[in-house]
Structure 1
Amino acid sequence: RMRRQGLRLSTLFRINPAWTMKAGFLAQTIDLDDSQYATSGVDAPYTRRRRLSEPSRNDFDGFWVSVDGDLGWARLRASSSVQSHGLDARYDASPSAPGFGLVDVAALDQSDDLSAAVHEVRLSGDLGARASWSAGLFFSEYTHNRTLSVSDGLGGAVALQQHRRDHLDEAALFVDAGYAVTDDLTVTAGARLFRIGLEHRSETTDDGPFAGDDQLIGVAPRLVVEYDRGPIVFYALATEGYRGPGFNAGSVGPGGQQPFRAVRSDEIVAGELGARFSLLDDRLRGRAAVFVADWRDIQSDRFDGRGLPFTANLGDGRNRGLEGEVEWLVGPWTLDGHAVVNDPELTRPDPGFALGSDSRLPAVSDFSVQAGLVHEARLAQATVRSELRLGYVGPSDIALSPTSMSRSAGYLTSQVGVSAEIGRWGVRASVDNLLNRDDDTFSFGNPFYPQGDISTPQQPITGRLAVTARF
């Protein structure tokens, strides 16, 4: 059984005609009596064949505020947000009991406490009729405290305990400039100068304490070229991004095999070539593109031989694909669709975590499609919106380790909803999984059990009712 409750508030204050302030708060708690995956079997395909239940709790709360205004010579946008996130979960680790010195039954209890603060100030403006610019500062702090404990799950002695604390801070200066070379051709270039700092402290009962510091300093460029031919705009873009380095707690792998103590930063270089169009008096809009992304030293969360989590560098990978979306307006009706085709592959596996040269990038579906039909009308004093959505997420590989490979075969999604707004009040009713499908969705399941035995069926047909008010 799952219990979910929360609160969401947002407000907008117009200080004067040129300045506005927005703020919001969100709090949510999710309690699960047991995990949502099942063990496959011929006689009873969704029977839980586990010795221990796996309850979990997920608490989240956050606050944000932003200010927008006109300085005369530039537009200013400043925003700040703070959030905290608590996660507590238990896993049945019985298959790995001997590896922890336990007999027959073992449980892993994991507690995560995360906090983050993000701040950004951005200025933007024009330089004459053909040039535009934006520049700003970004700063964030992120702290993650995690405790792992392995025991018999019955209140007995603790076989392994691990505490770790990771503190990351990032500062960045970014700037963009656009110039209309001709009436049809515009070039925008930008860069982000950043520093990511990391402080790591950990202690494990079978490995002792460890402390490490690291940092990454770099520049992430961006280039966009647009050619506007009236109803069709052709574009090309190239971007670069990074994730900072890290450390693994606990034991390291033997003989040059991961997990290593240090985790290398990864880098992604992405490019896209496409076109946006607006036809039939703006009633038919859409976009089509081809894309490629090269990823170096891919960071990915994995599990060691005993089922304990660590971060690996998988090697280099590439994803190529096609993407398209379209929207067609006919009176009160709107028909929209979106499709993506992916060709993910691991081009150079890391020798310390060899998944094989022909491995596909895990957790990336081969393709996905989605379509929606929306009708909007006035009924007395109410604005009524009806919506039907269907989608399909294609197959994807799930690779936990070099010896643990499984595959999600794909699944169908569906939703219908009706909403009405009268003044400041709104009500919405919706039903998810209209066809009551039980297809296996993407999930890592339980790392201590063979992955081929695990199925995570879709949530059964579910109804929702929401009431909102604006003040």
Structure 2
Amino acid sequence: MRGKVGSLDLTSSTAYVSHEFSSIFDASSQASVRGLSTPLGFEDLRLLHLATQEIRLSDASASHPWVVGLTWLQADNTVQSRFLPTGSPSLIISSLHNDTMETALFGEITQPLGSGWSATFGARAYHARVDNEQNGQGRRRASKTGITPSLTLSWNPAEQAMVWLRYASAVRPGGINTDGDYTSRTFQSDDLKSLELGWRLTMADDRLRLNGSVFGLRWENVQSDVLGTDSLVRTINAGRARNIGAELGAELHLAPFMIAANLTFQHGRLYRPSAAANALGDDNRLPILPDYAGGLKLSYLKSIAGIDFRLFATARYLGAARLSFDPSLGRSMGDYWVSDAGLDGFIGNWKAGLTVANLFDQRENTFGFGNPFTLRSINQRTPLQPRTVTLRLQRNF
């Protein structure tokens, strides 16, 4: 909901989600350990209720533009795990209920400094709490309270140029692991601090647009998933990490052609591993994070008989990465190109389009794994979505 409160802008956003799903795996590898017969199934049943509310009040036209807001989140997560022996009753091994509450008060205000300069100050005061009940035992609680500040210094000498230097921080609350974790029953909050120098520039009568940034991030108590000896996934704090890099983008308009490109270089590494991470191996690359990524897009615009047509082709590259610090989960991923192509037609309020995604039907590994009980013995991978043809017809009102 959006509206006015006097001269101020009010925004309210409310959401509620109820989500239930179950997964059943082949857990025969655990049969002898559990004294059960094969084949052995394993069911993971999850039920989530999530409610969020955010209210923001702002005044963009003030001499010192500002925004202030309040956010609240409540989540109830129930997980039941059980083995499914052949010809025998199911065997419940874990019954878990997490009750999570997060609330925060945040704000930001901009101070003009003259000559195109301005400074923006922001802060977020938060409190997060999770209550955990497992297998009928007493309730355990983990909580975190704090403030994360931000500061941006920007220079906007003209409509065609902007440069900024931004410091920001963020915290992801910790939590409680299921019983049997070999390192700790709880994991700590992780803390991220970043510094970014960025720019946007328009040149050559708006035909050339350049943007980019150089950045550095420091990450304390990195949360990461590992695979326990019982083949169940839990969370550890892996230690301290840093990431430095640059993002570059450009867009060139040479009618009837348009060329856009982007490129990312980064070096994300764990430089001070925790005792738990040290036991997992000596590869200190941050999971999921490739050192290189980029893309290229070429578009051609043409009007025929009063209909505007746009023909486009894209190519994207994702560099090599790994899934986790844990060698059991650390499958290689990325290091592939994928291309799309399409044709759109516009006339009045109507638009029709034909798109071919994954043009060459590539099957490289993108992310994730399937069955944790067979991950150590069977190669598992999540390929790209196969070549997909989409036809669209759209009308704007």
Tell me the TM-score normalized by structure 1.
Answer: 0.77
Query: Which residue number in structure 2 is paired with residue 346 of structure 1?
Result: 270
Find the counterpart in structure 2 of residue 61 from structure 1.
none
Aligned 1:16-55 pairs, distance under 5 A? none
Match of 1:386 among 311, 333, 336: 311
Q: Determine which of 81, 84, 96 is the counterpart of 1:151.
A: 84
Q: 1:315 aligns with which of 239, 251, 259?
A: 239
One-letter code aligned to 2:180:
S
- Look up the match of 1:225: 153
- Amino acid across the alignment from 1:329: H
Task: Tell me, in whole angstroms, the C-alpha distance in 2 between the residues paired with 1:146 and 1:468.
Answer: 42
Find the counterpart in structure 2 of residue 193 from structure 1. Answer: 125
Alpha-carbon distance in 2 for matches of 1:400, 1:109: 26
Note the aligned Cα RMSD (angstroms).
2.5
Q: Is the 8 A contact 1:353 1:402 kept in 2?
A: no
- CA distance in structure 2 between the aligned counterparts of 1:113 and 1:374, rounded to whole angstroms: 45
1:178 lines up with 2:110 in the alignment: yes
Checking the alignment, whether the CA contact within 8 Å between 1:166 and 1:201 is kept in structure 2 is: yes
Answering whether residue 8 of structure 2 is matched by residue 74 of structure 1, we say yes
Residue in structure 2 matching 1:125, options 39, 59, 66: 59
Alpha-carbon shift at residue 457 of structure 1 (Å): 2.7
**Which moves more between the two structures, 415-424 or 167-176?**
415-424
Q: Structure 2 vs 1, CA of residues 444 and 403 (structure 1 numbering), >3 Å: closer, same or farther?
A: closer
| Partner of residue 134 from structure 2, selected from 195, 199, 202 | 202
Q: Distance in 2 between matches of 1:155 and 1:195?
A: 48
More deviation in 231-240 or 424-433?
Answer: 424-433
SS in 2 for 1:444: coil
Counterparts of residues 416-455 of structure 1 (less than 5 Å): 416-421=341-346, 425-448=350-373, 449-450=375-376, 453-455=379-381
What is the number of equivalent residue pairs in this alignment? 394
Corresponding position: 1:301 with 2:225: yes
Structure 2: which amino acid aligns with 1:363? I
5+ long unaligned stretches in structure 2: none
1:244 maps to amino acid: P
CA distance 1:327–1:251, shift in 2 (3 Å): same
Give the superposition deviation at 1:242. 0.7
**3-state SS of paired residue (2:284):** coil
Deviations 1:423-442 (A, max 9, x none): 55544322111112222222
The residue identity in structure 2 corresponding to 1:272 is E
Partner of 2:389: 463
Alignment CA distance shift 1:274-1:250 (3 Å): same
Of 109-118 and 400-409, more deviation after overlay is shown by 400-409
Q: Equivalents in 2 of 1:280, 1:227: separation in Å?
A: 21
Q: Is the 8 A contact 1:349 1:357 kept in 2?
A: no
Contact kept in structure 1, 2:227 and 2:329, CA below 8 Å = no
Question: Contact 2:80/2:92 (CA < 8 Å) preserved in 1?
Answer: no
Q: In the alignment, residue 108 of structure 2 is paired with which amino acid?
A: D
Q: 1:212 aligns with which of 123, 126, 140?
A: 140
- Residue 470 of structure 1 deviates from its aligned partner by 5.0
Q: Aligned in 2, Cα 1:454/1:403: closer, same or farther, shift over 3 Å?
A: closer
Deviation >6 Å, runs of 4+? none
1:269 Cα deviation after fit: 0.8
Which one is further off, 450-459 or 363-372?
450-459
* Secondary structure of the structure 2 residue equivalent to 1:438: coil
SS at match of 2:30: helix
- 8 Å contact from structure 1 (residues 303, 400) kept in 2: no
Contact 1:233 1:275 in 2 (8 A): yes
Give % identity: 26
Q: Using the alignment, how far apart are the partners of 2:250 and 2:378 within structure 1?
A: 38
Q: Which amino acid aligns with 1:463?
A: V
After superposition, give the CA deviation of every residue in 1:248-276 in whole Å (9 maximum; x if it has no partner).
123232xxxx2x21121111111111221
**What one-letter code is carried by the residue in structure 1 that aligns with 2:23?**
A
Alpha-carbon distance, 1:145 to partner: 1.8
- The Cα of 1:123 is off from its aligned counterpart by 1.7
